[in-house]
Structure 1
Amino acid sequence: MHRAIQLLTLHFATIVAEEGSFLGASRRLRIHHSALSRRIKDLELRLGVTLFERQPGGVKATASGKTFLAKIRRILKDLDDTLQGIETADPAKVGEQSVRTDPPLCNCAFLNAVVGSLGKDPDVTDFIDFLRRHCPP
């Protein structure tokens, strides 16, 4: 059974790129570096693209990784902005606390936006094919 790519994993990949190492990113994210490394390796396998060149002194994004991560950063920022707008749009809910659960990634309209955005970039066609197979509109 295939698991969907989690938004958290995409966020983790952006942090790895910012920090330039799994160890630095794991400290910032407060997770074990080997777990983070495995999670990113799994992401790369699912995408069929190497996002990072691993070197003794850290990691460096590949050309495909730079393109992918730049788009993911924009998408995650747009999602954060959208969620912030929803949270502040209803004054009746100010101060209200709730338990939030993330819906399955495949049922999210967000993925259709990702596919639309990435569909214009030939460097990430494997990722788009994956999303279309596992997350139909």
Structure 2
Amino acid sequence: MTQGANLTGRQDVFGIGDGFGYRDFIVILAVAETGSFRGAAQRLSQGQSAVSRRVQRLEDHLGVSLFERSPTGARLTPAGSNFTSRVRAVLHDIDYAIASARTAGVAGNGHLCIGMTSSFSRGPILSLFAEFTERHRGIEVGVTETNQSELLTLLSHRRLDVVILSEAPTPENGDGLLISRERPYLAVARDSSLSGRETINWDEISAQPFLVSSSCSGTQVADLILQRTADQRVLPHIKRHRAEHETLLSLVSLGLGVTVVMERRLGATIPGVSFIPIGGQDEAVPTSVIWRPENDNPALRRFISLARIEAKRNGALS
């Protein structure tokens, strides 16, 4: 710790007043470790007289001798031994604090809190997560899944760093980036008359019983169904269940209805269920990431940087 190279950029990190700082304590430790002023001077690439003056000035300030001088070297006094022991511990803590700050500055460690309205088993968001965790293994990632209103509230109060939404970014929510556009799919029983279709339109399925979860992700699915069938004569029949995605697919396999599944959730399949793309590419639903511009979390900056790469890869960012 007392090598001369360690002084760079840390000379004034810590002081005790009257102009004393990090360098003075490094000099004291160098004398203690080498047992001489000459040895400390050689280690620190300084003149012996400069080292001696620093020690003497500190001793005068403290009002106590730290070393016993002799022609053969310098020995610590009892006061000097106690002082250097404490100084060594303090400088170790400072070294650790500086290293931690610098590591966090390059997102080598830290924490990233991500909010979302639904899970994912494939697609651009999964790819983004995979690349981020692979590149930054030291960062602890926390995930919150709840409704959009609560997510935006948590984001505003810095309880979340970034939120993933199934809509285009808007300025009032903060900074945003469109990651991709994903098509909705209709999940039907494999023995249904609809199974086997290459594509299907909303007007062909508006009379079907839609099975929707009462969770936050189900609310978004219900909103999408209502939006896309708003011009139909018959209002869609939406059955809400206090059930998760996989359970709804099981009900679909039994022929109890259909459900709408976003492309990112197609990785979770259930025997007896077929997935049919709804409409054309114009039916694609945007997926975006939202964050607060005042958030200076280094881990967030690294996440957004990778998100831009993913967005460009998907053609969402020119």
Same fold (TM over 0.5): yes
How far apart are 1:57 and its partner, in Å? 0.3
CA RMSD of aligned residues (A): 1.5
- Answering whether residue 95 of structure 2 is matched by residue 75 of structure 1, we say no
Q: How many percent of aligned residue pairs carry the same amino acid?
A: 39
> Which whole-Å deviations, capped at 9, do the CAs of 1:3-28 have from their partners, x for residues lacking one?
32111101110010000000011000
2:67 to 52, 59, 62: 52
Distance in 2, matches of 1:82 and 1:61, equals: 28
Gaps of 5+ in 2: 1-16, 109-318
The equivalent residue for 1:35 is 50
> Which whole-Å deviations, capped at 9, do the CAs of 1:65-113 have from their partners, x for residues lacking one?
00000000000000000100000012269xxxxxxxxxxxxxxxxxxxx
Distance in 2, matches of 1:75 and 1:41, equals: 21
1:64 to 79, 97, 103: 79
The equivalent residue for 1:13 is 28
Distance in 2, matches of 1:38 and 1:66, equals: 19
The equivalent residue for 2:40 is 25
Matched residue type, 1:40: V
Larger strand fraction of residues: 2
Larger helix fraction of residues: 1
TM-score, length-scaled by structure 2 = 0.28
Q: Aligned to 1:60, what secondary structure does the other structure show?
A: strand
Query: Which of structures 1 and 2 has the larger relative contact order (alpha carbons within 8 angstroms, sep 6+)?
Result: 1
- Answering whether residue 94 of structure 2 is matched by residue 88 of structure 1, we say no
Matched residue type, 2:39: G
TM-score, length-scaled by structure 1 = 0.64
Q: Aligned to 1:39, what secondary structure does the other structure show?
A: helix
